[in-house]
Amino acid sequence: MRTKNSLIIYVIAALIIGTFMFPGCKKSSEADTFTLTVTVGGGVTGTPEAGTYTYNKDDKVTYSYALKDAYEDLKVSLDGQSQAVSGTITITKDCTLYAQSDPKDEAFSLTVTVEDGVTGTPKSGTTYYLPNTQIDYSYSLLEDYIDLKVRFMGTEIANSGSVTITSDSVLTVSATLHYDIRDSWALTEKYSDGSEFSGVVTFAGTNTDEGTVVDSDGGAGIFTVEGTYITFNLEFPNVTYQYTGLFASKNLISGTGKRIIPATGKVSGGTWTAKRNTSTTSVHSLFSFHSSNHKGEIVSQ
């Protein structure tokens, strides 16, 4: 009996020791992983494309690259060591695969600059082409942008078409951020004479550049918008308000204003903020309170 108990104890001890001394058998989910960073020059085509990829240890990665027209001298390297232009690499550590080339002597550059607010091709960058190569292009505006302009070598051209490369060339594409103000806005304002107001202003018109504006207290005026800059006024029988400001975002404007009493010539400076009504409920619900003063009244100081 003593011998049998001793044997059981030895077996248990061996199992415990084995558990702590031999942790090398990992589950597949715990296998080592490494990153492959790929950089591909503008004159090179192939796979894998530029980017960062994750692989398990000892994974095989097949690559293949070729030259685009107008380029020569294709070079492929792995961690700085020259490689064939196609082949297979084994992932054993973090590494970098780089494929580059040089433009041919007779090639011309096309430098493209695409500003914010525009989508289309070709995208920003510099690419080389053989003489007389025809390059197709097409651009359009994103939401809240206007005035799309495409220029080739400084001359404005159509928004889509093709250009022929006969020298080093430049293609620029621009647009102007321009929010549509036509809507109802919750306006709050505060002036140096101590007056404060909150109400609703509604902008309307046949275009986004200019139109009319009315105030929930009965004032009326006109507005102009240029890019993100806005000016408008509100006229009451005894008081005039003048506003200038900038769009902070599509739904928020802020700026400075003047409260003018023509009868006395008194001018009080102030600040204002307007928030667009983006809900289906009345814009008045944007206020936690409504001014007890009427903007058209002259309050004794």
**Cα-based angle 197, 200, 203 (whole degrees, multiple of 5):** 130
Q: How far apart are CA 272 and CA 12, in angstroms?
A: 79
Q: Residue 193: its pLDDT value, please?
A: 92
% helix / strand / coil in the chain, to the nearest 5?
A: 10, 55, 35
Same structural domain, 277 and 227: yes
Residues 171 and 199 in one domain: no
Tell me, yes or no, whether 58 lies in a domain: yes
Instruction: Specify if 43 maps to a domain.
Output: yes
The pLDDT tens digits for 266-282 are 999 999 999 999 864 44
pLDDT number for residue 299: 56
Domain shared by 49 and 62, yes or no: yes
Please count the residues of the chain. 301
Percent of the chain exceeding pLDDT 90 equals 81
Angstrom distances, CA of residue 236 to CA of 63, 96, 190, 231: 74, 70, 17, 17
Residue 21 lies in a domain: no
For residue 29, the model assigns a pLDDT of: 43
More confident: 164 or 2 = 164
Are residues 76 and 157 both part of a single domain?
A: no
Which residues form the domain of 246?
184-286
Mean pLDDT of 54-66: 96
**Statement to judge: residues 116 and 201 lie in one domain:** no
Residue that terminates a domain, selected from 130, 151, 177: 177
Residue 7: pLDDT over 60? no
Strand partners, 184: 202
193 and 159 in a common domain: no
Q: In the numeric block, which tokens belong to residue 232? A: 């408008």
Question: Do 99 and 120 lie in a common domain?
Answer: no
Q: Mark which of 103, 136, 165 sits at the end of a domain.
A: 103
Question: Are 147 and 90 in the same domain?
Answer: no
Of 287 and 190, the one with more pLDDT: 190
Q: Are 278 and 270 in contact (CB under 8 A)?
A: no
Based on the domain organization, do 270 and 212 belong to the same domain? yes
pLDDT at 58 over 70: yes
Query: Is 261 inside any structural domain?
Result: yes
* Whole-number Å distance between alpha carbons of 275 and 198: 11
What is the number of domains present in the chain? Answer: 3
Q: What is the pTM of this model?
A: 0.70
Quick one: 198 and 282 in the same domain? yes
Give the end of a domain, one of 154, 177, 200: 177
* Domain-embedded: residue 292: no
Calculate Rg over the CA atoms of the chain. 34
Residue 74 placed within a domain: yes
188 lies in the same domain as 282: yes
| Residues in a beta bridge with 71 | 103
Residue 142: Cβ within 10 Å count: 12
Q: Specify if 272 maps to a domain.
A: yes
Q: Are residues 163 and 256 in the same domain?
A: no
